[in-house]
Amino acid sequence: MTTGLVGSFVYLVGLCVGSFLNVVIYRLPRGLSVAEPRWSFCPCCRATLRWYDNIPVVSWVLLRGRCRYCGCAVSPQYPLVEALTGLGFVLVYHLLFVAQTRVLAVSGTGAVRLAPVLPTDAPLLLAWLILVAVLVACSAMDLVLYLVDTRVTDFAMVAGIVLCAAWPRPAFFRAAAGSPLAAGAAVAFVLSAWMLYRAWRREQRTPTDPADDDAGAVPSASSSGAGAGFAPVAVVVGGLVALAVWLLLANARPAGTASAGVGTTFLVFFVAMVLTGGQTRAVDDDLHATIEAEAPESRREALRELAWLLPALLGGGVAYALVATVPAVESGWRTVVAWSPTGSFEPIGGAVYAIYGAILAAAAGWAIRILFTLAFGREAFGVGDIYILAAAGAAAGPDIALIGFLFSIPVALAGWGLSLLLKRSAMIPFGPPLALGFLLTLWLNTAAAETLHAYATDVASAWERQPQIVLMGVGLLIVALPIAVLMANLVRRLVEPRE
């Protein structure tokens, strides 16, 4: 009863947040302020919309997708973003508080789950809701424009750090925050924040041509409605399914119904990703041409990025080594991390845990970006995706971000393969698959954590008894890698549109 009530409330909040996200998605890439003008306006005739034109999903359906004043078509993206945000909110609430899928710790006997309750675990819920909102906004921008606004992802990252510091459940993060890896991550975080600040200062001092910026890639407002023939049908069907899934979730008593509801929710997200991503856009060819034109420079650029990351890498490595090998440093680090003003809060430990998540996830993203760019000689895996990973690592934890990254790869390939039926494009926007990957990891947290734990135990015991087997495995991987690169290059040449 109460969970159903809270679920409904979370759903309604999600619809309203989705309505605000539409403003963010429209205004930020165009260099407009989110706060001014206060009220939403029609991009076509600039008329200020009244409150009754702004009711999430409902207004769009009542007005049959047209502006009340000029009759201009209103993109189905608006109700879609609202419905999906509501669905994402209720999904996260259901998984965390009703199904209780988040894992606290794994031991030899299996995974122990976190049993969150409100209001104690409100910071956990809030961090996840902010992450979902940011993932929806980034996915929409990535699908339509192939760009991710880092102000949006930074918001989720900072919120994740602050909320984790304010979360009165230190048992969740104490062990990880006190580890040498977390110490290394904290130092790497401070160093890279300082490097980013310096780069930002330098940019402030050298004025650039605003038309030369990313904003130049943004198509005009009128082009967004073009080629959206089947989208309205998808929205109506998607909205109805979303509502049904929500009802299933809110009232699910038998576990089987709940799983069916969760499974359907993921299907809705996946279908929305394929249909939206399958629409042909002017930016497709532009961006593809840019990547091809910059191809000869891409390997050198990847090495330059590696050099840029080196100070943070080295600083983090030194901190890691000190905490791992010098007992006095280790106990000092543990004391700092366990500092508590009241006994129930450990704010430094919480913040360090979130930072550890952000840095670990970003490092995985950088490794993939640099390795793939070096291997293919073309820019691979955008920097925006790395910012999404860092946000997820801070808001949801390092395990969710890393396993989610792993899950996102098959999701991206399946989605891209299906969208090839709609349009030929060699580019894969990675924002939506990442979002799906993180949510999937929350759902399958127990299975994922136990599998990883068993795998790690196996490798460790094999290393002790027969190290040659582990070395052989590593050797096989090293041989398999160039073969995989060759095959992927072959597929890319087959798929690529010919001039």
Q: CB-wise, 67 or 322, nearer to Zn ion?
A: 67
- Cβ contact 353:164 at 8 Å: yes
Q: CB-wise, 221 or 371, nearer to Zn ion?
A: 221
Q: CB-wise, 42 or 485, nearer to Zn ion?
A: 42
Which residues does residue 111 pair with via DSSP β-bridges, in sequence order?
106
Six token digits for residue 284: 């497709």
H or E stretch at 181: helix 180-205
DSSP 74: P
Nearest distance from residue 137's CB to Zn ion, in Å?
23
Q: CB-wise, 69 or 155, nearer to Zn ion?
A: 69
CA pair distance 178, 160, nearest whole angstrom = 18
What totals of helices (H) and strands (E) does the chain contain, helices first?
18, 2
Contacting residues toward Zn ion, per CB under 5 A: 42, 44-45, 67, 69-70, 72
CA pair distance 429, 146, nearest whole angstrom = 6
Q: CB-wise, 65 or 382, nearer to Zn ion?
A: 65
Which residues does residue 262 pair with via DSSP β-bridges, in sequence order?
none
H or E stretch at 104: strand 103-107
Which residues does residue 105 pair with via DSSP β-bridges, in sequence order?
112
Q: CB-wise, 42 or 420, nearer to Zn ion?
A: 42
In this structure, how many other beta carbons lie within 10 angstroms of the beta carbon of residue 442?
22
Q: CB-wise, 42 or 195, nearer to Zn ion?
A: 42
Triad 283, 287, 290: Cα angle to 5°: 145
Nearest distance from residue 410's CB to Zn ion, in Å?
42
Count of CA atoms in the C-beta half-sphere (13 A) of 111: 19
DSSP 215: G
Nearest distance from residue 49's CB to Zn ion, in Å?
9
Nearest distance from residue 145's CB to Zn ion, in Å?
22
Triad 452, 455, 459: Cα angle to 5°: 140
Amino acid in position 78 = Y
- Cβ contact 178:314 at 8 Å: no
Nearest distance from residue 41's CB to Zn ion, in Å?
8
Nearest distance from residue 47's CB to Zn ion, in Å?
5
Nearest distance from residue 44's CB to Zn ion, in Å?
4
Nearest distance from residue 46's CB to Zn ion, in Å?
7
Q: CB-wise, 45 or 58, nearer to Zn ion?
A: 45
Q: CB-wise, 44 or 236, nearer to Zn ion?
A: 44
H or E stretch at 112: strand 110-113
CA pair distance 108, 291, nearest whole angstrom = 48
Instruction: Please state the three-class secondary structure of 448-476 as a single string.
Output: HHHHHHHHHHHHHHHHHHCHHHHHHHHHH
Q: CB-wise, 37 or 296, nearer to Zn ion?
A: 37
- Cβ contact 38:117 at 8 Å: no
**Residue 365: partners with Cβ closer than 8 Å, 6 or more residues away:** 381, 385, 386, 389, 390, 405
Nearest distance from residue 64's CB to Zn ion, in Å?
14
Q: CA distances (Å), 236 to each of 101, 230, 239, 272, in order?
A: 31, 11, 5, 11
Nearest distance from residue 62's CB to Zn ion, in Å?
15
CA pair distance 467, 458, nearest whole angstrom = 12
Q: CB-wise, 72 or 185, nearer to Zn ion?
A: 72
Nearest distance from residue 24's CB to Zn ion, in Å?
20
Nearest distance from residue 78's CB to Zn ion, in Å?
13
Q: CB-wise, 38 or 205, nearer to Zn ion?
A: 38
Count of CA atoms in the C-beta half-sphere (13 A) of 280: 8
